[in-house]
Each structure stands twice: as structure tokens, then as C-alpha cells.
Structure 1
Amino acid sequence: MICPASQISKFLLTLLIIILLFYFYMDFNLYLRLQNYPLDNDNSSAITYEKVTWLSCRINPLCEVTVKGVLLDHTNYYVFGPLVQIIDNILRISDIKWITPNSISFFHIFVAILSAKCVTSHSLTYRRIGVLLFEIRTWLDDLDGHVARVRKHIKGERSEIGTAGYYIDGICDAVGCTALIIGVFVFLRNNPPRRGYILLSTTSDSKEPNILHSFKVTVKKVAKTVCCFSLQLIISSTAWNRYIALYQDLLENYDLPGVDKVKQCDVFKNSFFFFVAWLWRVINIHNLLHLLLLSIFCDKLWEFLRNTQYVGYGVLISVVCITEINIIDIKNFIFYSLNETEIV
């Protein structure tokens, strides 16, 4: 044994706190980036921003800020995205013609299936290996989008909605997530959680109390709980992709007159828009999967699923309502001069 389990737990907790602090620090810098260097389509703001940042724009996610980037979860945007760029700079994957974005998408399906197989194991070590494999799958998901954008000379995170690659990537992601959920269900079915403990008695000659497990959670209950979380993933994914499409149409439409382009920049500077985007960074499907994987890694899977079973719906519905209001306000603000209607 390398070191006591308690020391490992303290190390992992410290690492988690450092990561969260890093995410908040980057969010603060992202907010300043939007306030001082608005988006454009001629790359001038990225060049200007590179002069005041210590990190090269080749790996700095804050240089090329897009709608999708602002709505993307912290791990993908601040960790996996730059890591993909670094690996591509070293291996030149995007220059290898026989490696296509679609082939990468198909490959990470097999990584997800292997991950799900590990998640079903009785051994916590194997389940943790499964978590790491699924995070590799997520990195590969970032890689296929990166390769596609490089070959099309597209800067920053963007969704090319309606293209064949968009749908293939979505299908492969859905298959991979489904494999993970099946793995979670199989593990809980084979290792049903217990509802609690019963203290039977404590004898005078023994300091240890006699404890009996009450009863196991039924397979039906496990299936219901897993299905509830799966439906939350579907709702989150559907809504998140819908709002990326709507915000891209509103804020990255470069065919608008000059006065409306100024309004687009004003929206990006708006604190309420940033707040709404930040909410989606927390509850989009990628981050929900990260939280699920974290619960598996910490051996708290059932507790996580049980605690989010109904609360998750309330959070999702609330954020959807807030976002719909924000989109209506943005439409009215940007196209005010065209509609010639006064906003109250």
C-alpha cells in the first residue's frame, strides 16, 4: 500500500478544491475578457487580447470566445480544449488525412463501452478505471470537433448545426452515454444499495454494537432512479443544444447591419447573459456526466442519483424558464430598430 486511504482522500479533496478554484478564476477572467474585448469576426480582438495575457492564444481558450464556448462546461472549455490543442501541436493529428473527425467519433464509442464494462465491476479500483476511460472518451469527443474545425479553418468552439458531422457526433455521444448509464444500472442491480441499518443490541462483554442491514433497495427502485437521471440528461442535452443554436443565430450572425452588431457586443457584455450562460455551464449534459463520474469515483453513486432524482428537474425547469426570458429580451433588444417596437 502506497499510503493510507485517509491520506489519499485528503489529497483528492485538495485536488478537487484546487480545480474548482481554477474554474472560478477562469470564469472571472472570461467575464473580464467579454467586458473589455468584445467578439468579432475578423480576429482583431483575439490579437489584442493576446498582448495582455501571459498564455499564447494557441492554447488559451479565452482568446477565441464564442457562444458555444461560453455555454460549455468548465472541464471541457478550460482543461480538455487546451489539452487537445497541445496534443495536436505535438502529434499534428489534424494533418493526418486518414484520421477523420467521424472516425474519432466512432472510436470513442468503443472507449465508452469499455468504460461502462469497468463501471459494472464490484471492485472500486476497476470502477475508477472506468471513470478515467470515460473522461478519455470525453477528450476524444473534444478532439473530433477540434480536427473538424481546424480543417475548415474555423476559430473557437462552434456547432455546425445541420451538417452530417454534427449528427454523427451527436449519435456517437448518445451511444456512449447510453453505454455508461447501462453500466451504472447493471452495477446497482448487482450491488443493490441498502436503505439503512438497525441497531439490534449491545452486550456488556462487547464494545461493538450488533448492526443488521435493514433491507436492500429493489431493482425496480434502482431502475426508476436511473431512468430519472437519464431523462434529466436528455432534457439537458436537448435544451442546451437548442439554446446554442438560438444564441448563435442571435449573437454570431455577421450579416446584420452595423448598429445591430454593436447590440450583439452589448449582449455579450451583459451580466445577466453571462449568468444565464454560467448556469448552463453547470447543468449541461457534459457537466452532469462529470458529476456522475465523480460520484462513481468517490463510491457515492447511489447517494448522488437519489439526491438529484427530483431536485434535478426543478433546477432544469428553472434554468430553461430563465433562458427563454433572456432569449426574448435579446431578440427584442437586437432587432428593436427593425421591428420599431418599444420594449417596456
Structure 2
Amino acid sequence: MDVILYCSLQTSTLVDPKRQGVYSPFHPLSVKLLMSDPVQHYIINPLSEYFDDFTHFSKVFYFITPNMISFFHLFLAVVSAKFVSSDSLRTRRLGVVIYQIRSWLDSLDGVVFRSQHNEKNTYVSHHESWGYLVDAMCDITGGVLVSFGVLFYLFKQPTSFFSKYKDDSSASLPLTKSENGFVSSEKHSSKPSKKMLFWKCWCWGFQIFWRLVLGIKGWSSTSLQTTALHSTSTWVIFYIWRYIDGQALIQIYLIAIFVDKVWVSTRIQMN
């Protein structure tokens, strides 16, 4: 799928007319769509778009606003977080399914917004709108809640649970209690980690690139942006981001929960 996406990116220009008709994950392309994780791009987005095309949900239920959908998928995130913190594997798997439904609704609220504003097949964020802030806060809160659900699940596990995954060095818990009863972590340092510095620089660079691509003013700027869009370095940055952004990491966590490998996944991402 990514090979087809790469070929579509190389043949696209910033002056192509909007394509009408059935939704395609390859046409038209936007920075927002290219920065989506593969699960969102190839599965969740098409399902929500096809659902609206076949049922005309946004037209039939015109009174349902995108914000209403956002608040509902936030509620599902609360339910999912409760389920993934359970000791029962079956319940945790149900929590994963609920969160994927939440992700589908998160895509659907964008479909409804674009349909109600006559912006079909246009993937551009409206940063100045109230709905964008509501959706962003619901997304962030939902991701944080399910992460805390995983954390609470790990906190409830006995020491023997973590002993199964010991390597040559002694396995350590996210938080451990010392003999005097105080809670401590593995390392204490006020200096920001290299990972934190990397993420800050990475996100800052993407903000600059976002404005470069969206701010089209005149033919010369369009030509420059098209050249940048077709460069190999641009594709490499997009490709890396698609697999290590927050949504992609949550999808990895959901897979780990479903196959009962939460602590293994956590240790890999912490190292």
C-alpha cells in the first residue's frame, strides 16, 4: 500500500483539480493524510468515508454535529480505558475493540464536518475553528486515558508477572518501592532526555514544513512546494512519522494488549 502511496505522491501536483466521486486513500493527497498512521489511512478513514457514501449519514442525520460525535468517542475512550485495565484478557481485548470503534468515530466526525461544509475529499485542518479544538482535546484525552488504563493494569500485577521477562540484567518496574516505603523510579535526572529533545525538534520542524506546504501564494511558491513534495527526503520524513507518531504508537499498544504482550511492548519502547 505504501508503494502505491509513494507512486501517487510522485505524480501529484499542488495545482491538481479536486477529484470527485468515491473516496480513495491515494487521491487527493494532503499533508494531513500523509502524516496519518497506516491503520488510520488505509482502514479507518476509508471505512468512515464509505459508510457515509453508502448510508448518507451526514445528510440523513444532519442534526448530529461533529462535536457530538467527538464527545461520544471520548466517552468510549473512558470505557475502553476501564476495560484495558482489567485482569481479564477477554475484557482487555474488548477494550481494544471499543477503542478501535472510538478511532472510527474520530474519523467519522471529520467526514461529517467536511460533508456539512461542502469540503468532500479535502483533508485540511481548520485550526481556527472551535470544532478543531474540541476534537483535538477529545483525541488527546482519549489517548491519555487508554495509556493510564495500561498503566493501572501493570500496577496491579504481582512481581512474578515481571519476572517472566527478565533478561541478563534484572528487570525493573516502572515504579518500585524501596525498603523505607518511598516510591522511586529507575533514574532521577532533571536534564531532559535525548528522546525528549529529539521529539521537540522533530515536531518543531514539522510545524515549519506544514506552513511551507499549506501557504501557497503564487506560481513560484507552488513550483517550489511541488519540488519539495516530490523529494526523497520529504517521503522519508513522512514515512518515519507515519510509524512513530502518537496514533501509531497507540495502535502498537492496542495490538500488544490484544496478544497479551503489554509489558514486552512497553520495555521495547522504553529502551
The Cα of 1:302 is off from its aligned counterpart by 0.7
Select the residue among 207, 228, 239 that pairs with 1:267: 228
Q: How far apart in 2 are the matches of 1:299 and 1:232?
A: 30
Q: How far apart in 1 are the matches of 2:239 and 2:137?
A: 26
Question: Which residue matches 2:162?
Answer: 194
Question: Which residue matches 2:146?
Answer: 180
Contact kept, 8 Å, 2:174 with 2:185, in 1: the verdict is: no
Structure 1, gaps ≥5 residues long: 1-25, 48-56, 199-213, 226-230, 312-344
SS at match of 1:281: helix
Q: Residues 220 and 269 (structure 1 numbering): CA distance in 2 closer, same or farther, change over 3 Å?
A: same
Select the residue among 159, 169, 172 that pairs with 2:135: 169
Render the CA deviation track for 1:186-239: whole Å, top value 9, x for unaligned. 2111124322499xxxxxxxxxxxxxxx999475389959xxxxx999999987
Render the CA deviation track for 1:153-208: whole Å, top value 9, x for unaligned. 2333222123211111111112211221221122111124322499xxxxxxxxxx
Aligned pairs for 1:133-144 (under 5 A) are 133-144=98-109
Q: How far apart in 2 are the matches of 1:263 and 1:288?
A: 33
Select the residue among 39, 47, 51 that pairs with 2:14: 39
The Cα of 1:245 is off from its aligned counterpart by 4.5
Contact kept, 8 Å, 1:84 with 1:143, in 2: the verdict is: yes
Q: TM-score, normalised by structure 1?
A: 0.66
Structure 2 residue identity aligned to 1:194: F
Question: Which residue matches 1:124?
Answer: 89
SS at match of 2:162: coil
Render the CA deviation track for 1:56-102: whole Å, top value 9, x for unaligned. x5221111100111111111111111100111112222212221110
Q: Does 1:74 align with 2:48?
A: no
Select the residue among 73, 77, 98 that pairs with 2:63: 98
Contact kept, 8 Å, 1:233 with 1:288, in 2: the verdict is: no
Aligned pairs for 1:301-320 (under 5 A) are 301-309=262-270, 311=271
Structure 1 residue identity aligned to 2:13: P
Greater Rg by CA: 1
Question: Which residue matches 1:220?
Answer: 176
Aligned-CA RMSD value: 3.1
Q: Identity, % of aligned pairs? A: 30
Q: TM-score, normalised by structure 2?
A: 0.82
Structure 2 residue identity aligned to 1:131: V
Aligned pairs for 1:47-58 (under 5 A) are 58=22
Question: Which residue matches 1:85?
Answer: 49
Structure 2, gaps ≥5 residues long: 178-182, 187-192
Q: How far apart in 2 are the matches of 1:144 and 1:223?
A: 42
Q: Does 1:289 align with 2:254?
A: no
Q: How far apart in 2 are the matches of 1:99 and 1:257?
A: 39
Contact kept, 8 Å, 1:236 with 1:283, in 2: the verdict is: no
Render the CA deviation track for 1:237-270: whole Å, top value 9, x for unaligned. 987876665333211223x121221111111111
Select the residue among 215, 228, 233 that pairs with 1:253: 215
Question: Which residue matches 1:317?
Answer: none
